[in-house]
């Protein structure tokens, strides 16, 4: 079953929040788990306070390839939350076992520049993992800012396709995460955010 990795080369891009919300949406119809390969362990901390979640989170800083191969055969979707660094062993190992890498990018020059290094790491990983797919995703988009609007143009210069769906900056993402919930659990307050996540999944499944 598909192994999907959430990667980036800069902290604060919303990688873990996206991972948890994608996993929760997938888990409504498929067996799904998260391998938490990030030393910050944010996914694991979320799971520790999530009372009713059907998403299992397993610490996976060590022995990641074996854990990924084992659990990919036990669930329908396995997501890996990676450290925000292309130099981390966990990210490099995750790309070797992944079917798809999702790279959230905030609309900022620093995030765009950091993504150039991720593109190079994807190209390097494909030397061994020839079937690896990748997708950039604009995260925390703000329609009224000029920088948000030119981010897509900047990312289009890279070889990795950019998702049509843009995940907007919404307080409900942060607030639900801190409460051990997801945007799918908070009713009308999270409806638009939940719709965004499901749109990302539709685009993701077209690549798999």
pTM for the model? 0.95
Q: What is the CATH number of the domain that holds 115?
A: 3.40.50.300
Helix (H, G, I), strand (E, B) or coil at 123: helix
Q: Which domain holds residue 201?
A: 3-207
Helix (H, G, I), strand (E, B) or coil at 101: strand
Query: Taking residues 100-106, what's their average pLDDT?
Result: 95
**pLDDT band at 142; cut points 50, 70, 90:** confident
Strand order in the sheet with 56-59: 56-59, 32-36, 77-81, 3-6, 100-105, 133-141, 167-168
Query: Taking residues 176-191, what's their average pLDDT?
Result: 96
Q: Which residues contact 98 (CB under 8 A, 6 or more apart)?
A: 3, 4, 5, 80, 125, 129, 132
Q: Is the pLDDT of residue 12 over 80?
A: no
Instruction: Kindly tell me the burial class for residue 92, based on how many C-beta atoms sit within 10 Å of its own C-beta (0-12, 13-18, 19 or more).
Output: middle
Helix (H, G, I), strand (E, B) or coil at 104: strand
Kindly report, residue by residue over 31-65, the tens digit of the pLDDT: 999 999 999 999 999 999 998 788 999 999 898 99
User: Which helix or strand (DSSP H or E) is residue 120 part of?
Assistant: helix 109-125
Angle at 111 between CA 126 and CA 201, to 5 degrees: 60
Across the chain, where does the E strand assignment appear?
3-6, 32-36, 56-59, 77-81, 100-105, 133-141, 167-168
How far is Cα 113 from Cα 87, in angstroms, rounded to an integer? 15
Domain count, the chain: 1
Q: Is the pLDDT of residue 97 over 80?
A: yes
């Amino acid at each position: 079953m598909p192994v999907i990795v959430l990667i980036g080369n800069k902290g604060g891009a919303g990688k873990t929040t996206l991972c948890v919300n994608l996993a929760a949406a997938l888990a409504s119809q498929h067996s799904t788990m998260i391998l938490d390969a990030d030393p910050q362990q944010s996914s694991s901390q979320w799971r520790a306070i999530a009372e009713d979640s059907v998403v299992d989170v397993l610490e996976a800083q060590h022995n990641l390839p074996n854990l990924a191969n084992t659990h990919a055969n036990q669930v329908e979707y396995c997501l890996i939350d990676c450290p925000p660094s292309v130099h981390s062993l966990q990210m490099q190992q995750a790309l070797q076992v992944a079917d798809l890498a999702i790279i959230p990018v905030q609309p900022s020059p620093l995030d765009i520049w950091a993504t150039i290094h991720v593109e190079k790491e994807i190209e390097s990983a494909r030397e061994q993992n020839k079937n690896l797919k990748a997708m950039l995703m604009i995260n925390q988009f703000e329609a009224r800012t000029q920088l948000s609007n030119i981010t897509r143009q900047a990312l289009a210069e890279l070889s990795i396709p950019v998702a049509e769906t843009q995940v907007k900056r919404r307080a409900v993402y942060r607030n639900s995460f801190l409460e051990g919930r997801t945007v799918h659990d908070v009713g009308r307050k999270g409806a638009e955010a939940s719709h965004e996540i499901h749109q990302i999944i539709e685009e993701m499944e077209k690549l798999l």
